[in-house]
DNA sequence: TTCCCTGCAAACCCTTTGCATTCAC
DNA sequence: GTGAATGCAAAGGGTTTGCAGGGAA
């Protein structure tokens, strides 16, 4: 977690990395920016983006893109998959090693040399399911999320 | 392919649907817009977006999001996966039914009720691999694509 | 005729970038 | 001290939207 990273250590970079690592969810750049500003209102938006790309390039965080147009950042840098709640937008990490078999199928079908893969599962989280069962209570977080899986 | 779709049939809509269906690749909204303009220069950007969303909502096309920030549209509306070339950006459809097993793993790990899933494989297409083998010939389509899988 | 759809253009959101200043090393 | 990183602000790409005129049913 220390040693020479090949780039300068600044307060902004340390702050941004710790925000991603301590986050309870996969934050967007905008959400990270908000939390940075709570600690230091002088930090610029450009710095947040530049730092996130730097950290991603150095393997300190992982950048994820989903159906919504903004990128999200994950402190987990090993290969893993995600489950997405279509009712409230909750995003959860999962490990699906079974899917490794799938690479060979994909390679045979496409002729590609596959180096990586990522699966997004879409469904309904336990909390939203209990709300649905309880009779479609309104105002449950943000509804109307797209059903799209990507 | 005909009958009552619940929405009006217009030239623009028919044109946009046929462009997606006849496309050799998964076009972005911008690329679809260009092709529409070649046939009728009076069509507006807003019409293309509104129509694509309409067609997606009615299951006539499928909207896909990848690492690049623009959506792509696929005439295949059944569930399937994609292989993405990190060297030239080529995107190819694949069927990986094996991955269906993975849903149960994801459900057990997350507690979600999984309804759908989509896997993106990243790798190098046959053409780019032969170019690489031939000695890193420069100018091979667009290089420097992100390695990210999403 | 009626209401939906379209063209137009402005606005929006997320992200990137140029430049002068500041700061880590 | 020196080059890398930051703050600021403007620009860029993709997408959405309000409104008035036009067209499908």
pLDDT at B4: 60
Strands A62-65 vs A71-74: parallel, antiparallel or unpaired: antiparallel
Distance (Å, rounded) from C-alpha A36 to C-alpha A16? 7
pLDDT tier at A5 (50, 70, 90 boundaries)? Answer: confident
Average pLDDT of chain A is 87
Percent of chain A with pLDDT over 70: 85
pLDDT at B149: 63
Residues 96-135 of B with CB under 7 A from strand D: none
The 10 Å Cβ neighbour count of residue B115 is 13
Helix A99-110 and helix B99-110: axis angle, to 10°?
A: 150
The 10 Å Cβ neighbour count of residue A90 is 20
Distance (Å, rounded) from C-alpha A91 to C-alpha B150? 14
pLDDT at A21: 98
- Unique residue bearing structure tokens 């902004």: A12
Return the DSSP state at B68: S
B103 and A121 within 8 Å at the Cβ level: the answer is: yes
Distance (Å, rounded) from C-alpha A103 to C-alpha A81? 14
For residues A142 and B62, the model is more confident at B62
pLDDT at A76: 96
Strand partners, A114: B123
pLDDT at B69: 80
Q: CB neighbours of A87 closer than 8 A, spacing ≥ 6? A: A124, A125, A128, A131, A132, A140, A141, A143, A145
Q: What are phi and psi of A58, to 5 degrees?
A: -95, 10
Q: What are phi and psi of A73, to 5 degrees?
A: -120, 135
pLDDT at A71: 94
Distance (Å, rounded) from C-alpha A52 to C-alpha A26? 13
For residues B138 and B76, the model is more confident at B76
- Which two tokens mark B41? 């220069």
A47 part of contact set with chain B, CB < 8 Å = no
Tens of pLDDT, residue by residue over A70-115, are 999 999 999 999 999 988 888 999 988 777 788 999 999 999 999 9
For residues A127 and B6, the model is more confident at A127
Cβ atoms of residues B149 and A82 within 8 Å: no
**A23/chain B closest Cα distance in angstroms:** 18
For residues B89 and B83, the model is more confident at B83
Residue A133: how many CA atoms within 13 Å on its side-chain side? 7
Residues 57-116 on A with a CB inside 8 Å of B are 63-67, 69, 81, 83, 85-86, 92, 94-99, 101-103, 105-107, 109-116
Distance (Å, rounded) from C-alpha B90 to C-alpha B71? 15
pLDDT tier at B146 (50, 70, 90 boundaries)? Answer: very low
Distance (Å, rounded) from C-alpha B73 to C-alpha B56? 9
Rg from Cα positions in chain A: 18
Cβ atoms of residues A52 and A29 within 8 Å: yes
pLDDT at B137: 47
* Domains contained in chain A, CATH given: 1-77 (1.10.10.10), 78-145 (3.30.1490.190)
Strand partners, B92: B83
Helix (H, G, I), strand (E, B) or coil at B116: strand
pLDDT tier at A69 (50, 70, 90 boundaries)? Answer: confident
- Which two tokens mark B17? 């649907």
Return the DSSP state at A98: T
Average pLDDT over residues B116-128: 93
pLDDT above 50 for A139: no
Distance (Å, rounded) from C-alpha A37 to C-alpha A35? 5
pLDDT at B123: 94
Size of interface A-B (CB pairs under 8 A): 164
Strand C closer than 7 A to residue A8 Cβ: yes
Rg from Cα positions in chain B: 18
Average pLDDT of chain B is 86
A105 and B94 within 8 Å at the Cβ level: the answer is: yes
């Amino acid at each position: 977690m220390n040693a020479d990273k090949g780039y300068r250590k600044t307060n902004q970079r340390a702050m941004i990395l710790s925000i991603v690592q301590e986050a309870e969810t996969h934050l967007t750049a905008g959400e990270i920016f908000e939390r940075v500003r709570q600690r230091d209102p002088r930090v610029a938006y450009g710095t947040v983006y530049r730092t996130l790309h730097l950290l991603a390039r150095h393997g300190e965080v992982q950048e994820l893109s989903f159906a919504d147009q903004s990128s999200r950042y994950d402190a987990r840098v090993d290969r893993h998959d995600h489950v997405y709640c279509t009712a409230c937008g909750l995003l959860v990490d999962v490990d699906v090693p079974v899917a490794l078999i799938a690479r060979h199928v994909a390679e045979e079908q496409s002729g590609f040399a596959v180096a990586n893969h990522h699966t997004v599962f879409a469904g309904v989280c336990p909390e939203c399911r209990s709300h649905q069962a309880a009779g479609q209570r309104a105002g449950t977080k943000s509804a109307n999320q797209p059903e799209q899986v990507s």
